[in-house]
Chain A
Amino acid sequence: MGKNPKVVIVGSGAGGATTAFELARAGIDVLVLEEGQREQHAHYGNGSLEAMEKLYRRRGMTPILGRVPMGYVEGCGYGGSTEINSGFWHRTPREILLRWQSHYELDQADPEDLYRHFEWAEAELKVGYNQGDLPASTRAFKKGIVEMGWSASEIPRIGPYEQGRQNSAPANDPRQSMSRTLLPQAEEAGANFMMGCRVRLLTKHRNRITGVLATLKHDDGSEELVRIDADAVIICAGATETPALLLRSGIRYNVGNSFRVHPMLKVAALFEDVIDAHQDVIPLLQVKEFWPDISMGGAFFSSGHLAMLLSENWPKNRTYLSQYRNMASYYVAVRGTGKGTVRSSRLGKGHTFVRYNLSDEDLRHLSNGFARLCLALLAAGAKEVIPSVYGLSPISSELQAVRWLDEQLPKSALSLTTVHAFSACPMGERDDRCAVNSFGQVRGVESLYVNDASMLPDSPGVNPQGTIMAFARRNVQHFIKEGL
């Protein structure tokens, strides 16, 4: 490529990959700038620590400060967070879409408008259901849900690995992430990729974005500041880095003030029988009974992650580790209603500061959800449910669990995490709420678009990858149709 690209895409996650795929297939000259590296999938099989160092932003955990600090896990590299997520697939719930149309005046966001995009993504990613027997941790969970009489469903997942393709994945990893699906196809269609390229700033001439300034990291450790000119820039850098880049570049209108997450509280359940959850995929069921405010499901399990969960009360809890074969992890997640902010530091070198204030409603839902999760697990035959809450003893009876239906868990004792973040640049037609229009164009500037999780108006209440990809495709097709 010896000339300026027509479109620069910042980021190669769910939004960036979809954008690159569609633009390249439309014959548009595209350059994708990815901050991370193109890591081999073999890293997934080499243990959590190596994966964290190579595939995650900040080597594993982004701190989110606030009334209750929490850890946010985000991918960084070719394929973004799709390389590290659970692979669960949801379409955006109808009521959420209606809410977005009502509260944010989001145009052309009826379920009917989006079906074809969901169907396309599901075909590309081979979304489907588990074909074999349910793993032991899922069977246990299912037993509890049935005992409680709740509605639950097996969650479809991004599909199993297709034999015969290049860049083979370990046999036990069925994930069809962006690096195995859309990104190679985008490259085949002519998209160019530049790895190790961190965008520092958008360049502007008057009110028009003309390109980016980026730091390119070379193999010998040297860095180069480069300017890349383009006719349009589409930012898909993720829920925290997209608003940070906009703010650094002086674009502030409704940017970074409405950050949302799905706060998650994890528990470990101890069963009579051997579960060997560390050898299985994460539990495949999610409880829908209390959705969209509360959802429950299974979490990733390994000895290290179990230790992390038990660490809140480590002196008392450490003995559980010897029984790890009889244990599995589960979570309760809530559709966050609190407000958070994303800011780019004025001091230092490009640090992004994220805050989220857990609302009273979030806390109530977490307490409620925790109580119900304990009930379900006890009904499933768990001897004890150990929460990641400081000072809270393991729950071994239903009476101990139901207490939390009425009381609230102590805020300062909670250890929360989240893997879903969005909404820092909400889309829609409302001037007072939205940073981008209904198709991702940034307000007040020309030739600049956002097309990732940060554009979702608020919490979708479900795993967001499907929503991101459907809206990203819709937006890109609108962009192609309308031109620059």
Chain B
Amino acid sequence: MSIRSLISLFLGLCITGAFLFLALRRLDILQILEVIRGIDLFPWLPLGMVSYLIGHFIRGLRTRMLVSSVVDLSTAITTQIVVLGYAVNNVLPARLGELARVGMLRDRGGVSLTYSFTITLVERLLDGFAILVLLGLSAVFLNIEGMLIAPVTWIAAGLVSIALGLGIVMLAPDSVMVFASRFAQFVCPKWHDRLLSMVTSMINGLGYLRNPAQLILVFGVSLLVWLFEAGLFWFLFPAFKLTMSYAQAVMTMAITNLGILMPSSPGFIGTFHFFCMEALLLFDTEGAVALGYASVVHLAFFVPITLWGAGIVLWYGIELGALLRMSSRARTLEKVADRGLTSISQAQGVAALPIQPTKFYRNLVAALIPLQDVSADKMDMVKNDVSIFVYGQICSFPQRYVVLLNIGLWIFRIFVFFRTGHRYASLTHESQNRLVSIWAYGKWSVCRQLFRPIRSIALLAFYEHPEVVNMFVTKHNTGSSNG
């Protein structure tokens, strides 16, 4: 073991000892034993563990979403990566589980180390924000403020600073790359390629979050993760005959998880117990009961994940040959160098999926084209093809224009709702046509400008569709030559 690891372990043990002392100092051992004897674990412990394990599957789903723009991994694999990280944190100090997670993501996804770090950092950031949001909501609900403000403020400030930095990378990737290139060329040209490699890996790592809808979705998933984790805390209240609400469980979970952010011994022994107890003491719970509760929750938190992680490590070891084969997919510098190029970074792309318009876009496009002129058996195909073409064209516009267009279309949907009392998709085809005509061909210039690109492209695509062209030729070439 290296000296650095030894120091890390020693510090962790000191912190564990300190917090255990703080947790136990005012308690009577007999009282604690009495509490333990009175625990009623069934069915509460199994229910709590199910809730906790579901949370881990959701974490795996979130990881899958985050890497989906670069690599296609199954939820099973991404869940393994997440669980391995937590398991290693339980047995090794100083949050070394994060590095294990990074390494496994790199190996199983064939992505760069920087990219893996970015994904892990993004997940931690999302967790931090999710916990803070839940803490805030529960504090408001329970009407508890006061002593939480200062520590929460510091943690929030730190998270916001990191988020701002990542936000800039996410929203202005080209500008960040330009800055990095110019900075390196000015300060140290030898580091240019390496710095750019890190920056582009980070940019790729944040790719999924660039879409606002996806950002909101992944944050929602993060909230769900911690709500299920709070389920573990909530289900164990009755085991100790505590009649506490779900909001109190959320607050207990949040305080505990914020507390274990600090480095400590493996498994967060000491820090977990202390912060969990302190949360319960806010609700006037007896000290012995709070310690008993914290110990059982910690065991539920520690044991299943550690066992699961051990299984993954064994399995991971067996699959080493397959993993090595996966890693070799990445292009090597040697292949590129003989073309007179220097490779800086590589990002694996998922095979481009066909662009699929939303149901709203399909209905919108259908209202703009004369589908009734097409034979019934071809109608769906033509509608589908035209919608895909229109949507693909719109998505090719600069992002700023796409955002403006989508804002305009949302205003249209709100207009439709207020006018008809119904959502656009639930209206009849005739009603949809009528409402779209009001905007696309009406007297308000701004509405016509909004619809112009959609209707122009839709009509072009419709009348260039092979089925429509054939229909045209058949219909009009057999008619009078003077039309």
Which A residues are closer than 8 A to B by beta carbons?
A: 1-5, 31, 47-49, 53, 58-61, 63, 69, 71, 194, 200-201, 203-205, 213, 216-218, 220-229, 248-250, 272-274, 302-308, 310-311, 313-315, 318, 321-326, 344-353, 390, 412-413, 415
Contacts and interface: CB of A to CB of B under 8 A. Distances in A.
Interface string B341-373: 111111111111000000000000000001000
Contact of B340 (A31, A200, A325): A31
Contacts of B481: 273-274, 325
Contacts of A322: 475-476, 483
Interface string B183-198: 0010001001100110
A4 B400 CA distance: 37
A303 B400 contact: no
Contacts of B466: 47
B319 interface: no
A58 B392 CA distance: 9
A288 B348 CA distance: 54
Given A308-B460, A347-B175, A250 B182 contact: yes
Contact of A304 (B173, B347, B452, B462): B462
A303 B343 contact: no
A217 B349 CA distance: 9
A412 B445 contact: yes
Interface stretch (B6-14, B135-143, B331-339, B375-383): B331-339
A349 B402 CA distance: 14
Nearest to B175: A346
Contact of B181 (A213, A217, A302): A213
B389 interface: yes
Nearest to B347: A223
Interface residues of B, number: 71
A159 B461 CA distance: 30
Given A323-B483, A345-B398, A348-B173, 17 more contacts: A2-B338, A49-B464, A59-B396, A63-B401, A203-B181, A213-B344, A221-B350, A222-B331, A224-B343, A227-B344, A249-B178, A307-B462, A311-B456, A325-B483, A346-B172, A350-B174, A413-B445
The 4 closest A-B pairs by CB, nearest first: A221-B349, A304-B464, A351-B398, A323-B483
Interface string B456-469: 11011111111011
A31 B464 CA distance: 38
Contacts of A307: 459-460, 462-463
B64 interface: no
Nearest to B189: A205
Given A60-B393, A351-B398, A353-B400, A222 B461 contact: no
Contacts of A3: 340
Contacts of B352: 221
A346 B460 CA distance: 33
Contacts of A349: 173-174, 399
B339 A222 contact: no
Contacts of B400: 345, 347-348, 351, 353
Interface centre among B175, B185, B463 (most CB of A within 10 A): B463
Contacts of A303: 463-464, 468-469, 472
Contact of B441 (A59, A224, A313, A412): A313
Contacts of A413: 445
B343 A226 contact: yes
A348 B174 contact: yes
Contacts of B475: 322
B460 A348 contact: no
A274 B466 CA distance: 22
B31 interface: no
A3 B337 CA distance: 9
Contact of A201 (B177, B349, B398, B456): B177
Contacts of B393: 58-61
B439 to A, nearest CB: 13
A201 B343 CA distance: 15
Contacts of B196: 213, 225, 227
B346 A302 contact: no
A201 B483 contact: no
Interface centre among B174, B399, B482 (most CB of A within 10 A): B174
A384 to B, nearest CB: 12
B193 A227 contact: yes
A204 B185 contact: yes
Nearest to B373: A321
Contacts of A323: 483
A324 B178 contact: no
B59 interface: no
B333 to A, nearest CB: 10
B448 interface: yes
A390 B393 CA distance: 23
Interface centre among B189, B396, B398, B441 (most CB of A within 10 A): B398
A221 B397 CA distance: 21
Contacts of B472: 303, 324
| Chain B interface, >50% SS class | helix
Given A223-B349, A302-B464, A322-B483, A311 B455 contact: yes
Given A2-B340, A348-B400, A224 B177 contact: no
Contact of B464 (A48, A194, A315): A48
A30 to B, nearest CB: 11
A313 B452 CA distance: 11
Contacts of A205: 185, 189
A213 B370 CA distance: 47
Contacts of B350: 221
Contacts of A63: 397-398, 401, 453
B449 interface: yes
B479 to A, nearest CB: 8
Contacts of A4: 340
A418 to B, nearest CB: 15
B340 A250 contact: no
Interface centre among A205, A250, A311 (most CB of B within 10 A): A311
Nearest to A53: B392
B327 interface: no
A220 B340 contact: no
A220 B351 contact: yes
A327 B401 CA distance: 34
B482 A304 contact: no
A216 to B, nearest CB: 8
Contacts of A346: 172, 174-175
B306 interface: no
Contacts of B172: 346-348
A213 B193 CA distance: 10
Nearest to A57: B396
A348 B389 contact: no
A326 B482 contact: yes
Interface centre among A3, A213, A306, A315 (most CB of B within 10 A): A213
Contacts of B460: 48-49, 304-305, 307-308
B281 interface: no
Nearest to A61: B393
Contacts of B197: 225
Nearest to B369: A307
A379 B466 CA distance: 35
B200 interface: yes
Contacts of B396: 58-60
A320 to B, nearest CB: 9
A481 to B, nearest CB: 26
Interface in B436-452: 437, 440-441, 445, 448-449, 452
A303 B463 CA distance: 6
Contacts of A273: 481-482
A412 B481 CA distance: 37
Contact of B463 (A59, A218, A222, A306): A306
Contacts of A225: 196-197, 200, 343-346
